[in-house]
């Protein structure tokens, strides 16, 4: 039986959207980091 994962329930739609936006921005920054590392490691 799968354990029920606790749901994150922010107070309002605005907070929810903010969280979503924040995750997207963090994702973009993470991708930059990944690309920078790749470029450094593989750069000729």
Partner 1 sequence: MWQRFTLYDLRVVGHYLGTLILFFAVLMLVPFGTALVFQEWEPAARYLVSIGIAIIIGAGLRFLRIEPGRLSRRQALTVTGFAWVVLGLIASIPLFFSGHYATYLDAVFDGVSGLTTTGASVIVDLDHLSYADNMFRFAMHMLGGLGLIVVALSFGLFGRGGGASLFSSEGRSEHVVPNVVQTTQFIARITLIIVSVATVIIMGLCLLLGMEPARAFLNALWVSTSGFVTGGFAPMQLSIMYYHSFPLECILMVLMLLGSVSFVLYAEVWKGNVAAFFRDLETKTMVLWLVVMAFVFTATLASWPLFSDMLAILRRGLFTIISVSTTTGFQVITTNQITTAFSNGAFLTLAFIMAVGGSSGSTSGGIKFSRMGIIFKSIVANVKEALAPDSARVVVSYSHLGRRTLTPNIVKEAMTVFILYVITYVVGALVGIAHGGEAIPAIFESVAMTSNGGITTSLAQPGMPATLELFYILQMWAGRLEFVTLLALIVEVGASLVPRVKPRLNP
- Least separation in angstroms between residue 16's CB and partner 1 is 5
- The dihedral over CA atoms of 11, 16, 22, 24, expressed in degrees to the nearest 10, equals 160
SS3 state of residue 5: coil
Kindly give, in sequence order, each residue whose CB lies less than 8 Å from that of residue 16, ignoring residues fewer than 6 positions away: 10
Residues 3-42 within binding reach of partner 1 (CB under 8 A): 5, 7-13, 15-17, 19-21, 23-25, 27-28, 31-32, 34-36, 38-40, 42
Q: Which positions lie near partner 1, rule CB under 8 A?
A: 5, 7-13, 15-17, 19-21, 23-25, 27-28, 31-32, 34-36, 38-40, 42-44
């Amino acid at each position: 039986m799968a354990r029920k994962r606790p749901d994150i329930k922010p107070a309002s739609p605005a907070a929810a959207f903010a969280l979503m936006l924040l995750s997207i921005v963090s994702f973009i920054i993470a991708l930059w980091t990944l690309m920078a590392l790749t470029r450094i490691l593989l750069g000729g």
